[in-house]
Chain A
């Protein structure tokens, strides 16, 4: 708690600086794509959000596992705090993707494997958060949501391959990876990485704030319970 309190200002400042630099760089100081025109700039919003949306899910999987094995309360609370952020990021990635798709593919929505997986993931985030809200006892809620998250993770992988079986995609494959010399042309790549780092720190800021709120909430409830008894 003390450590997170001390780190929080730095993390949030880093997030703001990186986002500001990356977005301004990306939006105003990169050339337009020769085929896509100015619409290519949606990449600076779409890719980082989609990247984080998946990784928040993975983070929830890990924290749920830690809760079930070690019963570490902060772990469960961090998963709870991350879920709404993940839902918003997923929705934002879907919407920015739809806007991008409307100019480049000529359609807002297509039942493409990647898009469908994200929609499924969005429904899962909503269900997960709803379950937290529906159970009163905190430990039971943590248990149930963790179990749900583990089941969901298995089925997330299954759905990922199932939707490939079901429909041919128009979404491109992964164009970013670490083991290639140059992924996207450097003029686009450098600001993109800056924004991705910025969005990551933004997530970290939000996560820290939300988790701290949850911990304080838990403490107040405990104090109230002691006062009554």
Chain B
């Protein structure tokens, strides 16, 4: 656990960016440690994969097996939560090895980062960090099959070629199927990196085509796909937990006897809370274990727990917002500084000051968290919907006092993740309860109320932006203060401001072409559990910056798209590394591979505007809005078209998103991610609201925690993927669609109504 926590924390600092972790031994190599010449030969680029726990592994002996019938089994090591990586990464292997996709079977790796490399499925990293290792893996497999055939025929390797699931002897035309070659190929050593030849992209059959459906598609439509909530193990018991309504609260008393009277209830168990920073340790509380979920729920209702709420009982969202506003209105800690903002503001012809607020939000994955654990003879077996199988393995081992090698984490499908299932508190609950039951399998089921009231919340944030304009209307100063409790509060005591990781999420990497630029943070201390939520701090940072650009354009009477391009400035590489005081966190990836490229940012703005028909005349009550954000090393611009009726109801008839994620492996899944990001973005803009009162979350279920439903808009999302060759490094896909949506939407609302919304969510602000 220590190593992982350190890795998470160290990733924050730039000093670790180039430090590698070589995983495993023998034939297992991290793709980042290629000899320079081989790397040049293969045109591979560096990524941050080596800085992640477990690094990257590409050995076919780990990832690929072939049975004599010819079925190719490819291991997928990342968790599937809806992005399609469970299909896309094996598809890369299959293409490079010349396998026929119809004869490929995919199996899910258990948590084992020593063996498989990093499995932490978050940060929009699966394709970004593993497209190259999976290409190497497929190419190495292909070369092993070719070599096995050459040996069998007694011919030179150069005379044979793998083609569509068989190896052909070119001079004679004879061939052997992959199945016939399986045993001999598997006995061969993995080829050296230097000898591996990757396919020419013009020969790809699956990569980049978007013709392969997700592997679980049929099972999903038949109800056969298995998620964490769906696990059944012989002899399994079911548990629900009454958790303290306030983080760090403790149960003072409860009526175990009343719970035990409910038919089917077997046991009532107290779980102790863990002081902060608790990482992902359970919140504590009182668990009820029963023969079925319903009995456990009824037993919990009978507990009548009295709580000592502890030190967070004063958490009140309205008061906290005021405190953040006060912080944002005074000078903060300087995080990036260029020119002389104070002098420029003092000399400006006009100064415009605006504030933006985003409340807490919650993932509300359709599948509430669930985990099953069994302990037999000192070995624990886990079945769970976790984004972090490797981390979960370490945390379970730590919690139970076992060696990691005695913990098996079986990864189910995830019914949504969005960051929530990166935190394995629900698995640790199941581990503790299984131990209480003498190792019997226990499934912990979170209800929707549990999920909404005991989450790791998207952080609340307050942004204060001051812009100075000269007499000609040029922006000469930009001072931006960001105040938001840090997610690092899970890992270290009382951080008082956003960490460099959070600032790197779309604030201090801003490419804005303003000569006097100062980015600051103010203090705010977390009073609940903060967690990363799809695109994380990019949401408030983009909302404030891109709304402010819209406001300035309106102030100056400029076209918002033209003005946005002017703020971005000419096509160039913007390198803020020397002016960022705490180090620039570039999503954990090397700067040289993924610099801030305003040419690409301009291109997505232009493309989205063009596709949306920017500049067209619209009837009264309608408007277009635009916003752009670089996040997870991708560039995304969105144009939202809104229609606002006389009662202030907003509909969204059309969305155009230009998406530059470098080389795209699966365009069909990129489109689905962009469509989903628009829905999540619109949900954030219109509804997302978690509030605290007396330390407690005030929302309970989908009745009061509103999420977007069908027909509310974003039903016509048009995705425009920027075309690149495979030499342009692949970047994030799952998250980057979210950040530009809300500011584009509110810029459109302004265009339609003249009303500027700065306080999220929209709610009924337009009808008031």
Are A and B interaction partners? no
Give B contacts to A, CB under 8 Å: none
Give A contacts to B, CB under 8 Å: none
